[in-house]
């Protein structure tokens, strides 16, 4: 991210390099929130502490709560108060370290991990991964990331020929990574604490997730494709950062809300079903001296773009898509539709997003599920339900969603950022 600041006009490859750096710097939701705030501070935003009153002054603000990060900009002139909000999430499916993580069995030392959300467990097999997150001591919170430390080894087909017929992974038995052999004295948490310069006895609590250590990479003909962990949904977080840092010309209050815990249903103090965004919008309104009428009118004029990864058509499984809606990488971000409100897009929200993308020269594609295939969901319907703000669901198309290494086109993330930038500007 050194040569590329959020807000700089981006060609696709500069944006992808910047995204790769952001993903690499963000192995956990805590790191993502921290890194996002760091980048916005470089762009002139001011850090807000939740226990202090909010400022009414024009300018950019950023607030980190655990693994969530919220940023907003108050413009110089606010003739017709409204919020233009981009929402995303900082977490990704994978594995979380258990409270007492170290065990020894048949000469090996292993780590106890809980499955977090809905990963593709097979994609984690035979990859080296580290642990990242936060350690809490009496003195406060320390973010930590280790080097490659763990691996879930596959069984050889010579020993079990059935693995080439039908791979069945028991979540307790078969997803148990190794980190040492012949070291019954080993203590995994002590190793992680040492990386943070702490003694194990100082650590009163830990929130640590697994992350694969292989860096993101472009590949394919003309390097048109991009492989990376956590594209769902750091590609949207990064696009939102790029857009809000650049959007200094808006006549509305621009907001970026990146929540934790989307992959496990969003019901938490830092998730989209919690009061975090509503609290922040209310406190901004109060700082600006809005009465209930003004605040209600502002909400009625507001729009939320919920950005989350979607599905490109898979050439090996085309039947899983609707035959008339088969999005491809590098054809533009998706607008996501679902009549049953798994996505919050309606015709008015759709029109607002299409207009912004057209103004930015960004192509769009439509996504709607095959009626016989279950549809995912996003923070869009949750936020819309909570806030009563018009919402449109969008996002870049992926293959291998929820894999340890997902795939997108190199142009879509930059286009998403440009569409958000135009949306923030009210184009
Ligand atoms: Zn997602």
Q: What is the pLDDT of residues 197-251, one digit of tens each?
A: 999 999 999 999 999 999 999 999 999 999 999 999 999 999 999 999 999 999 9
Ligand 1 centroid distance, CA of 292 (Å)? 34
Rounded to the nearest integer, the mean pLDDT of the chain is 95
* Residue 13, pLDDT score: 86
Ligand 1 centroid distance, CA of 388 (Å)? 22
- Weakest-pLDDT range from 102-106, 357-361, 380-384: 380-384
* Residue 10, pLDDT score: 47
Residue position matching structure tokens 């449109």: 392
* Residue 375, pLDDT score: 87
Residue 134: strand, helix, or coil: strand
Span 98-110, mean pLDDT? 97
Ligand 1 centroid distance, CA of 209 (Å)? 17
CA distances from 81 to 95, 124, 179, 252, 288 (A): 42, 47, 55, 6, 10
- Weakest-pLDDT range from 66-70, 152-156, 267-271: 267-271
Burial zone of 113 (CB within 10 Å; 0-12 exposed, 13-18 middle, 19+ buried): buried
**Helices 292-301/276-287 angle, 10° precision:** 120
Q: Please, which residues bridge with residue 150 across strands?
A: 129
* Residue 143, pLDDT score: 98
Residue position matching structure tokens 């965004």: 277
- Are β-strands 225-228 and 217-219 bridged in parallel, bridged antiparallel, or unpaired? antiparallel
Which residues, in sequence order, are CB contacts of 294 under 8 Å at separation 6+?
81, 285
Residue position matching structure tokens 């492989």: 227
CA distance 60 to 37: 11
- In this structure, what is the dihedral angle of CA atoms 378, 421, 237, 141, given to the nearest 10 degrees? -130
Ligand 1 centroid distance, CA of 108 (Å)? 35
Tell me the pTM.
0.96
Structural domains in the chain, CATH included, are 13-92+229-424 (3.40.630.10), 94-212 (2.30.250.10)
Q: Kindly tell me if the per-residue pLDDT of 388 is higher than 50.
A: yes
Ligand 1 centroid distance, CA of 236 (Å)? 9
How sure is the predictor about 1, in pLDDT bands with cuts at 50, 70 and 90? Answer: very low
Ligand 1 centroid distance, CA of 398 (Å)? 11
* Residue 11, pLDDT score: 58
Q: Residue 139 carries which DSSP code?
A: T
Q: Kindly tell me if the per-residue pLDDT of 7 is higher than 50.
A: no
Ligand 1 centroid distance, CA of 233 (Å)? 5
Ligand 1 centroid distance, CA of 161 (Å)? 35
Ligand 1 centroid distance, CA of 3 (Å)? 28
Q: Kindly tell me if the per-residue pLDDT of 9 is higher than 80.
A: no
Ligand 1 centroid distance, CA of 347 (Å)? 23
Span 133-153, mean pLDDT? 98
With a pLDDT cut of 90, the percent of the chain lying above it is 93
Q: 280-317: per-residue pLDDT in tens? A: 999 999 999 999 999 999 999 999 999 999 999 999 99
The tokens for 154 are: 């596959």
Ligand 1 centroid distance, CA of 183 (Å)? 38
How sure is the predictor about 79, in pLDDT bands with cuts at 50, 70 and 90? Answer: confident
Ligand 1 centroid distance, CA of 265 (Å)? 11
Ligand 1 centroid distance, CA of 168 (Å)? 25
Burial zone of 383 (CB within 10 Å; 0-12 exposed, 13-18 middle, 19+ buried): buried
Ligand 1 centroid distance, CA of 165 (Å)? 31
Q: 393-413: per-residue pLDDT in tens? A: 999 999 999 999 999 999 999
Ligand 1 centroid distance, CA of 93 (Å)? 9
**Helices 12-25/29-42 angle, 10° precision:** 130
Ligand 1 centroid distance, CA of 103 (Å)? 32
Ligand 1 centroid distance, CA of 117 (Å)? 11
- Strand residues in 168-271 grouped as ranges (E): 178-181, 205-212, 217-219, 225-228, 253-259
């Amino acid at each position: 991210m050194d040569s590329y600041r959020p807000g700089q006009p981006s060609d696709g490859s500069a944006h992808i390099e910047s995204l790769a750096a952001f993903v690499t710097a963000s192995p956990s939701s805590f790191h993502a929130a921290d890194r996002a705030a760091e980048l916005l501070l470089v762009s002139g935003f001011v850090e807000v502490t939740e226990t202090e009153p909010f400022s009414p002054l024009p300018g950019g603000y950023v607030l980190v709560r655990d693994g969530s990060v919220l940023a907003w900009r108050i413009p110089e002139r606010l003739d017709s108060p409204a919020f233009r909000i981009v929402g995303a999430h900082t977490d990704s499916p994978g594995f979380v370290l258990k409270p007492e993580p170290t065990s020894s069995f048949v000469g090996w030392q292993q780590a106890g991990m809980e499955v977090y959300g809905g990963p593709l467990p097979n994609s984690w097999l035979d990859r080296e991964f580290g642990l990242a997150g936060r350690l809490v001591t009496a003195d406060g919170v320390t973010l930590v990331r280790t080097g490659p430390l763990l691996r879930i080894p596959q069984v050889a087909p010579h020993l079990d020929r059935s693995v080439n017929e039908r791979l069945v992974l028991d979540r307790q038995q078969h997803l148990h990574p190794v980190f040492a052999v012949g070291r019954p004295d080993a203590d995994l948490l002590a190793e992680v604490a040492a990386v943070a310069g702490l003694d194990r006895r100082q650590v009163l609590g830990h929130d640590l997730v697994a992350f694969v250590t292989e860096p993101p990479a472009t590949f394919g003909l003309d390097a048109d494709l991009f492989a990376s962990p956590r594209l769902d949904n750091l590609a949207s977080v990064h696009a939102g950062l790029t857009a809000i840092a650049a959007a200094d010309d808006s006549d509305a209050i621009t907001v970026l809300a990146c929540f934790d815990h989307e992959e496990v249903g969003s019901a938490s103090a830092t998730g989209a079903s919690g009061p975090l965004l509503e609290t922040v919008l209310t406190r901004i309104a109060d700082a600006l001296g809005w009465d209930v009428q003004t605040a209600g009118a502002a909400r009625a004029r507001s729009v939320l773009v919920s950005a989350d990864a979607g599905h490109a058509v898979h050439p090996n499984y085309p039947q899983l898509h609707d035959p008339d809606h088969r999005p491809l990488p590098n054809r533009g971000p998706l607008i996501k539709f679902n009549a049953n409100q798994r996505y919050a897009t309606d015709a008015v929200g759709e029109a607002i997003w299409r207009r912004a993308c057209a103004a930015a020269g960004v192509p769009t594609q439509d996504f709607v599920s095959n009626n016989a295939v279950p549809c995912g969901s996003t923070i869009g319907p949750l936020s819309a339900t909570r806030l009563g703000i018009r919402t449109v669901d969008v996002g870049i198309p992926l293959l291998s969603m929820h894999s340890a290494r997902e795939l997108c086109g190199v142009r879509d993330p930059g286009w998403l950022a440009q569409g958000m930038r135009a949306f923030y500007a009210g184009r």
